[in-house]
Each structure stands twice: as structure tokens, then as C-alpha cells.
Amino acid sequence: MTDVTLTIEKVGFQGDGVTADGVFVPLTLPGETVRASPPKEGHARLIGVVTPSAQRVAPVCPHFSQCGGCSLQHWEMSVYSDWKRANVETVLRRAGLETEIAPILTTPPATRRRVGLHAKQYRQGNTVRTELGYKRRRSWDQVKIEVCPIADPALIAAIPTLTEIAAHLFEHPKSAPILSVTVSDTGLDVDVRGIERSKSGGLSAQARMEIALIAQSSDIRLARISMADDILYQSHLPSVRFGRATVDLPAGSFLQASPHSEADMVALVKDAVAGTKRVADLFCGAGTFTFPLAETASVYAADGAGGAVRALKAAIGRAPGLKPITVEARDLFRAPVVAEEMAGWDAVVFDPPRAGAEAQAQQIARSQVARVVGVSCNIQTFARDAKILTEAGFQLDRVTPIDQFLWSGHVELVGVFSR
């Protein structure tokens, strides 16, 4: 079919250019005239840019346009940041939420501390080759990754060693290994998923031994290699600092993607609850906010992730000079903390997964808590939960957008509420 010429009107929420009649074209910018494939179900493939925008810049990564990770490296940074901030304002306004939108806080390149590396094996005659990479844009294929401007350099330096390790993960023909790699203070924490189990169980004793030998002899600091709760190698417990506490991470545990953005979030949360004496940290994880909050207030912390809660509990005794911390393993989706349990609390902090905290927000709305801080990785569910609070008498005082996932359509935020 014949290529078409399209004019891009704006950039949509996911980072693709959009024409006036709603056709999405990736890797394009407002005002550009482009050649594209005939639209199919509202999407077209970019073939070439006829008239480039003055805001178009050279991408910093050689994998850009092929790799499915970044979608906006071709956009001038200040305009891109304004777009992200405007997206937050638009979603909140559509929900009927008017508030102050603070300047966006942007994570610098080379600070992302966790990545998911997909492993593939290729047979060429008698040779077997293993590659690690990210998923290709809109494809199940992958791009071999040799550089990554957003990632902590320690992650990229480890790819040759991790490739050697991945070569021993294909004993089952249906295995599609994914190595989730996190930079911890004591070395890299590698959690392996996508391994099909044979009748005899997981990996063979030979594969386990080979992986341990590679890890032991590598000059890369590898703290642990695990498959769920199965430890394949461990030289140290992977640990991170949250405030004054050192927390040993359970396998596969959640961390904010960038310690830089995490520090921004912690500072915003602490500032919002300054002067309070009793604070709840709901969806607390392993204690990202719990321990900094406990420097000035007693804290009730709850989360449904048992491993994270146990790690938080274990770290309390090793953290000096903190106010009391009460910890509970609790599914806050099915069993939210009810309003009556919040009697005496001065503030509530909640940081749920992408699905948001609808049931918990309904209980906070019924409570007498005077101050609430919502941390969110999803503008849509934050707006829904914020609406529940404002309809119950809270005011959304301000929202701070945080660009933790650089050059993507993804934006996080911290919202502060008061009665």
C-alpha cells in the first residue's frame, strides 16, 4: 500500500505523536510533517520525517527507535519536561481537581538502579550464542543492549558476566529468562524469572554450579543470584539504606527505580508531614518512607508483601535514634485500614502500586486524619483516589510531578492533602 503524509498535532500521553484526526505515529513531534505507513486501527509506522520540528534533537542512545524502553529522546529536554507536567495538570483537571502543580523534578541519566534484561539464545550451525537486551519497540523480539544512558553504569558493566550466566538458563526449550538486576549497596542483586521447570525441578546441579563459578570468579560485585526463593549464589545479602536504616532486601523485592528520585520523594513526604507525631505509612514496602518518617514521628507501617515487611521489621533493631515503628503484614486492597483504626493519627502516607488505593482512600476519607500524602506511579488512579478524598472534605494543596522514568511517557507524583 502507498505511504501517507501526515501532520503531527501533539504528543499523546504515552509519548507517540498524534494527528488531528487521532492517528498515533511514534517518534514524532508536534508540527512535523512525516511519511508513514497507512494507518491501521489508529496507528501508523513512521517511515521518515519530511519537515522536522525545531524541538527535535539527536537522541543520546544508539539503540533509540529500536529499543522499546525510551520513546522521547528526540525531544528537546525543557519542552519534554513541560509536556509531562502538563499531562499531570490535564488529568487532574479532567477529574475536577484544581491545585498547584509544582515544577517537575527530573531524574538525571545514568541513575536508574534496576533493569529487566531479557535473554535469548541463537543457534548458528554448531555455535550457540546468548544475548541480553530489552524488548524491541512493539515487538516480542529484543534489542541487544551494549549501552544504556538511563541505567547505572554498574548495570551495563555487568552485561558480559550476566550473559555468561544467562547461557546456563536454557535447559528447558520453553525457558525465556528475564534477569531483573538491581544495584544494591553490597553488590548486584539478580533475580531470574521465566525458567520452565522440568520434571526434575528447576535448574540442574551442573547449571547451578556453572552459574556459581562464574559469579565467584567475576570482577563484578555480585551479591546474590536467585530464582524466586531459590538462591543460586550469594556472597552478601543485598542491602540498601532508607534514612538511618540498612535493609536487607528479599529476593525480587520492589525498589524505586532511581535513588535520586527516591530522595526527592522522601524529601517531599517528610516536608508534608513535618510537625506530626503519629504517621501511618500504607503500602510501605521495605521502608522507603517508614524509616525517614520515624526520625521525627512514631510510624505504623503496613503492606501486603510479606518479604518486604519482614525485611523492614528486621532492620528496625539496627537503626539508631528512631521513634517507635509498628509493622503489620496486611493486604490493603482486601483489608484496608478502616477509619476507626486511624483514631489519633496525625497523617497518612500511601504509596500504592499502579492500581491505586481506592478501598484505602475511601477509609481515609471517613477518618479524622488532618493530613494525607499520596505517592503515585499512575496519574489516572491517583486522580480517582484524590477525588474520593476531596469529595469528603480534603483539599489537594499541591502536586509535584517526578520524572523518574526518563524519556518515557511515564510520570510519578507526590500529592499533599489537608482538611
Q: What's the pLDDT at 197?
A: 76
Nearest to 379 by CA among 139, 17, 104, 110: 104
User: What distance in Å separates the CA atoms of residue 405 and residue 400, rounded to the nearest whole number?
Assistant: 15
| Strand (E) or helix (H) holding 373 | strand 371-376
d(CA 310, CA 402): 29
Domains of the chain as residue ranges with CATH: 4-56 (2.40.50.140), 83-108+255-418 (3.40.50.150), 114-237 (2.40.50.1070)
Nearest to 357 by CA among 338, 374, 339: 374
* pLDDT, position 371: 98
283 labelled as ligand-binding? yes
H helices within 281-337, ranges in order? 290-293, 306-316
Q: What pTM value is reported for the model?
A: 0.94
pLDDT digits (tens, 9 = 90+) for 219-264: 999 999 999 889 999 999 999 999 999 999 998 888 999 999 999 9
The label of the residue with cell 498524534 reads: 18
Q: What cell numbers appear for 190 in the block?
A: 539478580
Residue 199's pLDDT is 61
**What's the pLDDT score for residue 187?**
97
* Separation CA 208–CA 205 (nearest Å): 5
Does 351 appear as a known binding residue?
Answer: yes
- Return d(Cα 181, Cα 197) in angstroms, integer: 21
Q: What pLDDT does residue 107 have?
A: 96
> Is 219 flagged in the annotation as binding?
no
| 257, 404 contact by CB (below 8 A) | yes
Q: Determine the pLDDT at residue 138.
A: 77
Catalytic residue set: 377
Q: Given strand 17-19, what is the order of strands in its sheet? A: 24-25, 17-19, 4-11, 33-36, 46-51
**Three-class SS state of 380:** helix
What is the DSSP secondary structure assignment for residue 171, as one 8-state letter?
S
Query: With contact defined as beta carbons under 8 Å apart, do 336 and 360 qualify?
Result: yes
Q: Which of 173, 281, 190 has its CA nearest to residue 231?
A: 190
CA distance readout (Å), 172 to 190, 201, 202:
20, 11, 9
pLDDT per position as a tens digit, 80-90: 999 999 999 99
385 is in an annotated binding site: no
Residue with cell 533475580: 191
pLDDT at 253: 84
C-alpha cell at 32: 512535523
Question: Strands 371-376 and 347-350, how do they pair?
Answer: parallel
Which pLDDT does position 298 carry in this prediction?
A: 98
CA distance between the termini of the chain: 59
Question: Would you put residue 243 in left (φ > 0), alpha (ψ -120 to 50) or beta?
Answer: left
Query: Strands 278-282 and 46-51, how do they pair?
Result: unpaired
What is the structure's pLDDT at 201?
65
For the record, the C-alpha cell of 368 comes out as 479524622
For the chain, residues with pLDDT lower than 50 are none
